[in-house]
Structure formats: C-alpha cells, structure tokens
Amino acid sequence: MITLHTWTTPNGFKASIALEELGLPYRVRPVDIGKDEQFHPDFLKISPNNKIPAIVDEDNGLSVFETGAILVYLAEKTGKLLPASGPERYKVLEWLNWQMGGLGPMLGQLGHFAVFAKDKIPYAIERYSNEAKRLLKVLDTQLSKNDYVAGRDYSIADIAIFPWINGLIVSYKQPELLADFPHLLKWFSEIAARPAVQKGLTIGKDAIG
C-alpha cells in the first residue's frame, strides 16, 4: 500500500496518474497547501522541501519526495513504464529531467505571473510566455518523430509532462499557446483519453473534496 500525500496541482497529479497506471493500491492523504499544511512537522518528516507530493511505501516504510524520484521509484517497484537498462532507459530519464528542470518550472512561473499575480508585470509575462513557447516547440518536435515523448513506448516521462500541459489548458486557460503544435495536441488528446489518466486526475479531487 502506498500513502500519497498530495494536493490538486500538476505535480500532485503526476503521482496519482502513475499509481493508477501502475495498478498499485494507494490511499490519499490531502495536504492543503492553501492552509500551509505542507509546513506541518509531520509532513516535513517525509518532504523536507515542504512540497507535494510525497509518498510512503507502507510495505517497507520508505518515504520518497520530489516527483521525479517518486515516478522512478514506483516504476522500478513494479517493473513498468521505465526500461530497466539500456538507451531506452536513459531516453525516459532525459525527458523526465527535461520536465522537472524546464517545462514544469517555466509553466509554473507563467501561471503565476500571467494568471495568479495581482500585479501583472509585462516583462515577466513576456519572458515566461516566450520560454513556454520554446519548450512546447521542443516537445512538439520530439513528438513529430515519436509516438510518445521518449520513443515508441508510453513511460513515466509522458506521465510527468501531461499534467503540466493539462494545467496550461485547464488552470491557466491558455490553450492558444498550443495552437501551433499539432503533434503535441495529438499526443495530449491520446494521453487524456487513457482511463488511468482520467481517474488519476479525478481521484485526487474526489479524495480532497
């Protein structure tokens, strides 16, 4: 049994989608970031960076924080969605790290300055919009040559990237940024139709209420 400490954010949905795709039993423990529950001492014991999500594997007592580490851990626990060795493994890890170091942070900053900030700063909005478009073009180019982000097989790289594209559409309400990227849009539609993805996006919301 996996205990998932999470909230309804793109990073949180990475973990719930992975758990659904991998078929692992889990329970959700909400961490209301709107109430600063991520700073509670009990949560900091498993996530010292005070960020969601984090997991505890009740089978062995191991706790894991940071989404990249969580996705790798769950994939290796089940032997699915991440090749065990060889070039294919490193392609998945490349794109997983691309998301964590680039797409996620840049879309997060775009959302902050363009949507949530009370004071709109044109320079910041332009900077992060341009970087978002650059990264989306990189992704579209990759998907023009491959069925999935890291190659021919669905992987944790797809799971890591999808919630941020979904957030761009649903939370940030900026689908126009995707208009020039047909391969990305095709990939997004196919991933969004997966039952485990749909459940992973919903179950967190249902559990959190």
pLDDT at position 27 is 95
pLDDT at position 209 is 52
Which pTM does this prediction carry?
A: 0.94
Residue 103 is given by DSSP the state: I
Model pLDDT for residues 46-89, shown as the tens digit of each residue: 999 999 999 999 999 999 999 999 999 999 999 999 999 999 99
pLDDT at position 172 is 75
pLDDT at position 207 is 53
Positive/negative CA dihedral, 27, 206, 51, 77: positive
Q: Any long-range contacts for 99-102 (C-beta under 8 Å, 24+ apart)?
A: 99/157, 99/160, 99/161, 99/164, 100/67, 100/68, 100/160, 102/135
Residue 170 main-chain phi, psi, to 5 deg: -85, -50
Q: Which of 188, 27, 150 is nearest to 15 (CA)?
A: 27
pLDDT at position 138 is 98
Domains of the chain: 2-80+196-208 (3.40.30.10), 86-194 (1.20.1050.10)
* Weakly modelled stretches of the chain, pLDDT under 50: none
